[in-house]
C-alpha cells in the first residue's frame, strides 16, 4: 500500500451517536439540520485526517435523505475520501440508522462534500498528498 492509499485508509472515520429528543423535528425523527451538522463534522474529520492541513468546507454537493431516523435510534456516520484534487478533496459521508434492539443497519442519508486546504491567509493551498504512482 503506497502513501496515498495509506492516507485514504487512515482518514476513514466512523462516529456513533444516539438520536435524542433534542435532535428531532416535529414528527419525532432526526432533524435535517442536525444531520447536516453531523455530516459536516465527519467530512471535516475525514479531510483533516487525510491532508493533515487546515481545511474548510467549500461545497456540499448533494444530501439525500432516504429514510427517516426515529428518536431513540443508534446512528453510525461513516466517512471517507473519494476524490483528491490540487487543493480540494471530496468526502462521502453516509448515515446508517441502527435499530437499538435488533442491530441491523440501513443506509439513511448520503452526502458528498468538498473541502479545500487553506494556508495562513485562508486562501487555497496545494494539498501535500497527491494521487500519483510514486507516493
Ligand atoms: C474555500 C475558499 C478558500 C476557496 O476559494 P476560491 O477562490 O473559490 O478557490 P479556487 O477557485 O482557487 O478553487 C480552489 C479549489 O476549490 C474548488 N472549488 C471552489 N469552489 C468550489 C465549489 N463550489 N464546489 C466544488 N469545488 C470548488 C476548485 O475546484 C479548486 O479545486 P482544485 O484546486 O482541487 O482544483 C473560499 O471559497 C472560501 O473561503 N469560502 C468560505 C469557506 C467557509 O467559510 N466554509 C464554511 C466554514 S468551514
Residue pLDDT, tens place only, 39-90: 999 999 999 999 999 999 999 989 999 999 999 999 999 999 999 999 999 9
pLDDT tens digits, residue range 89-131? 999 999 999 989 999 999 999 999 999 999 999 999 999 987 6
Contact partners, residue 5, CB within 8 Å, separation at least 6: none
**Strand ranges across the sheet with 88-98:** 13-18, 74-84, 88-98, 105-117, 55-65
For residues 44 and 95, is the Cβ–Cβ distance under 8 A?
Answer: no
Cα of 75 vs centre of ligand 1, distance in Å, is: 30
Average per-residue pLDDT for the chain: 94
Angle, CA of 43, 45 and 46, to the nearest 5°: 65
Does the beta carbon of 48 lie inside 6 Å of ligand 1? Answer: no
Going from the Cα of 117 to the center of ligand 1, the distance in angstroms, rounded, reads 9
Can you give the pTM of this predicted structure? 0.93
Domains and CATH numbers, the chain: 3-117 (3.10.129.10)
Amino acid at each position: 500500500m503506497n502513501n496515498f492509499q495509506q492516507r485514504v485508509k487512515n482518514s476513514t472515520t466512523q462516529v456513533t451517536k444516539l438520536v435524542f429528543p433534542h435532535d428531532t423535528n416535529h414528527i419525532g425523527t432526526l432533524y435535517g439540520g442536525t444531520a447536516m451538522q453531523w455530516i459536516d463534522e465527519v467530512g471535516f474529520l475525514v479531510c483533516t485526517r487525510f491532508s493533515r492541513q487546515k481545511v474548510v468546507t467549500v461545497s456540499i454537493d448533494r444530501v439525500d435523505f432516504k429514510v427517516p431516523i426515529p428518536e431513540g435510534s443508534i446512528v453510525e456516520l461513516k466517512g471517507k475520501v473519494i476524490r483528491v484534487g490540487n487543493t480540494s478533496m471530496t468526502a462521502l459521508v453516509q448515515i446508517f440508522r441502527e435499530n437499538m434492539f435488533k442491530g441491523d443497519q440501513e443506509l439513511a442519508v448520503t452526502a458528498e462534500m468538498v473541502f479545500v486546504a487553506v494556508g495562513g491567509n485562508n486562501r487555497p493551498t496545494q494539498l501535500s498528498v497527491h494521487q500519483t504512482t510514486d507516493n
